[in-house]
Amino acid sequence: MSLVEAQGLRKYFSTGSGFVARYFSDERVHAVDGVDLEIERGQTMGLVGESGCGKSTLGNLLMRIHEPTEGTVSFGGTDITALSGSELRPYRSEMQMVFQNPQNSLNPKHSVGKILRKAIEFHDVAQGDEADALARQYLSDVGLRPEHVERYPHEFSGGQQQRIAIARALSVDPEFIVLDEPVSALDVSVQAKILDLIEELKVEYDLTLLFITHDLNVVRHVCDEVSVMYLGEIVENAPTPELFEDPYHPYTRALFDSITLPEPGELEAGGGIKGETPSPIDPPSGCRFRTRCPEAMEECETVNPELVERERDTTAGTRRTACHLYDAVDD
């Protein structure tokens, strides 16, 4: 059964900050525009896409950090978009988040112990000395020393700060953690350590993860399933091995072509994606990728393809692709 499920999720932001812009302007940034997503219990779902595709906004919507413009998010069968603030509170401890830059998400004026204790006590996991003991325990779980509770965030390296952020997320005993580019700001040697830690903790604490990243090399190693986003929509969704074996959507294929490996050689001419992502304020009609797609057809201009199952290979897991190229195959 799926733990987290989004249906018809949309989030539009008004472009101006003033009263007039907010209420009288039609200009909206279509950050997330009609997303259906299911994350199975115990799975790691990778969410990939380039800057501005809406992947972080989607993560925030699932946490209900943003209110959706339209659509629902259910967590363990409960529609959390319909809940009031106090009703939502028990769910908050079930859903946690780890961000890209720990310097920005850890209060520099609080000791690490206080940062963890505040989370533990706020969500009423434990109080007082018991909370303190838990804080120490979680610190050692993420590979730091229990006595580090006395130190402040600036006394740690970037990798260690990310460990603290992970410890804080874990400390309220969540079921689901959204990791938003958790290793993108780290050096490769540190990145490998944190990815290892995430894998380990996932098993130990029986977690379900949404791993938001732009790095497809990382996705291959940590995710069970991958959703590819482009301009506010999910264009392809498949189990990781199948997706890497045979990406269906032209955007996914182009993204894969852009991956660089540390192997000496020339950049292949023609690899990668031409041009830039169009503005999410006024996305192209029909398929949003058609303006950059090497295989765009007439139909793509008018009809936006739906994200539906295109199960060409019965041995592969279920996969969905939003592309007219595969319409004929299914008929």
Partner 1 sequence: MSVLQIDDLHTYFDTESGTVRAVEGIDLTIEAGEIVGLVGESGSGKSVTASSIMDLVQHPGRIADGTVRYDGQDVLSLSEDELAELRGGEISMIFQDPMDAFNPTQTVGRQLHDVLRSHREGSVHPLVRALGLDHDADCKAAVVEMLDAVGIPNPEARYSDYPHEFSGGMIQRAMVGMALLCDPKLVLADEPTTGLDVSIERQILGLFKDLVEELDTAVLWITHDLSVVAKLCDRVVVMYAGKVMEVGSTEAVLSDPASPYTQALLDSIPRYDRPDEEMYVMEGDVPDPLNRPDGCRFADRCPEVHDRCHDHHPPRFDTGDREVACYLAEGDAE
Residues of this chain that bind partner 1 (CB under 8 A): 50-51, 157-159, 187-193, 195-196, 214-221, 241, 244, 254-256, 258-267, 269, 271-273, 276
| Long-range own/partner contacts, residues 15-24 (CB < 8 A, 24 or more apart) | 15/281
Query: What's the closest the beta carbon of residue 130 comes to partner 1, in angstroms?
Result: 32
Q: Which two tokens stand for residue 324?
A: 């007219």
Instruction: Report the residue number, 48 or 170, with the smaller CB distance to partner 1.
Output: 48
Which phi and psi (to 5°) does residue 67 adopt?
-80, 130
Nearer to partner 1 by Cβ, of 276 and 330: the residue is 276
Q: Which pair of tokens denotes residue 128?
A: 């007082």
- Report the candidate in 247, 233, 237, 246 with the shortest Cα–Cα distance to residue 287: 233
- By C-beta, is 83 or 316 nearer to partner 1? 316
Question: For residues 256 and 326, which CB has a smaller minimum distance to partner 1 in the complex?
Answer: 256
- Kindly report the backbone phi and psi dihedral angles of residue 327, in degrees, each rounded to the nearest multiple of 5, phi listed first: -55, -50
Shortest reach from residue 81's CB to partner 1, in Å: 30
CB of residue 198 to partner 1, shortest distance in Å? 12
Which residues does 111 contact at the CB level (< 8 Å), separation at least 6?
Answer: 149, 150, 151, 152
Short-list 44, 18, 36, CA closest to 205: 44
Q: Which residues contact 105 (CB under 8 A, 6 or more apart)?
A: 98, 99, 165
Comparing CB distances to partner 1, the nearer of 55 and 136 is 55
Taking the complex as a whole, the smallest distance from the CB of residue 218 to partner 1 amounts, in Å, to 5
CB of 269 vs partner 1, minimal distance in Å: 8
The nearer residue to partner 1, 4 or 194, going by C-beta atoms, is: 194
* Minimum CB distance to partner 1, residue 224 (Å): 12
* CB neighbourhood size of 93 (10 A): 18
Amino acid found at 152: Y
Using CA atoms, how far apart are residues 239 and 132, in angstroms rounded to an integer? 40
